[in-house]
Chains A and B, each alone.
Chain A
Amino acid sequence: KQEVTQIPAALSVPEGENLVLNCSFTDSAIYNLQWFRQDPGKGLTSLLLIQSSQREQTSGRLNASLDKSSGRSTLYIAASQPGDSATYLCAPRNNNDMRFGAGTRLTVKP
């Protein structure tokens, strides 16, 4: 069974900083991996989807990388803003299901 670990569990930074969120997973036989953000009490917003054959994906200030063989993915957020404050979830997909990490709770202070 896939186990997903996200480090750090929580992160507080001043506005404008660049930051990296880490995700590791135990089963590298994945189809793809998605990064999501979740605001308190809300559902998930998909940020980036990386296929197993890809090394990275970019969307605006976000860049996600994938090292499938070592079971790692990182989410890089450039020039962080208070509106980026949320919980960020990493979810690799194996076969027919997707497993989630516990998330990194990010707070960006003005």
Chain B
Amino acid sequence: GAVVSQHPSWVICKSGTSVKIECRSLDFQATTMFWYRQFPKQSLMLMATSNEGSKATYEQGVEKDKFLINHASLTLSTLTVTSAHPEDSSFYICSARSGGSYNEQFFGPGTRLTVL
């Protein structure tokens, strides 16, 4: 299957700082990218969906000014957690898909964010 990478795989930061997470589709063009977060022992919750060159669509309850998503190219999306707080500590997973909704969605390995 297609490969999606994330960087960094883990990050520790101080409260109040901003953290950027990159998601790349390595061998296909990702027309749509998704960002999920997962708390311990819970399932994945969709945060936002973005199409290349367009603004992201955020799920209800997700602050768009806190979680900045940029999908500037067909192979790269970034999630920036601004002014991070300890409650933002979580496992963030990106996903990418090429083409329409019938196509398979591929997932990155995740980024573990710990805010002190």
Interface of A toward B, CB cutoff 8 Å: 31-32, 34, 36, 41-44, 46, 49, 51, 89, 93, 95-103
Contact = CB atoms under 8 A, between A and B. Distances in A.
B102 A43 contact: no
Contact of B110 (A43, A46, A97, A103): A43
B93 interface: yes
Closest 7 CB pairs of A and B: A43-B109, A44-B107, A43-B110, A31-B101, A100-B44, A102-B43, A100-B43
Interface string B72-106: 00000000000000000001010100000110111
B102 A31 contact: yes
Contact of B93 (A44, A93, A97, A102): A44
Dominant secondary structure at the B interface: strand
A81 to B, nearest CB: 22
A14 to B, nearest CB: 24
Interface residues of B, number: 24
A93 B46 CA distance: 12
B105 A43 contact: no
Contacts of A100: 36, 43-45
B49 A96 contact: yes
30 contacts: A31-B101, A31-B102, A32-B101, A34-B104, A34-B105, A36-B107, A41-B91, A41-B112, A42-B109, A43-B6, A43-B108, A43-B110, A44-B44, A44-B93, A46-B104, A46-B106, A49-B104, A93-B101, A93-B105, A95-B101, A96-B32, A96-B101, A97-B34, A97-B49, A98-B34, A98-B105, A99-B46, A100-B45, A102-B42, A102-B43
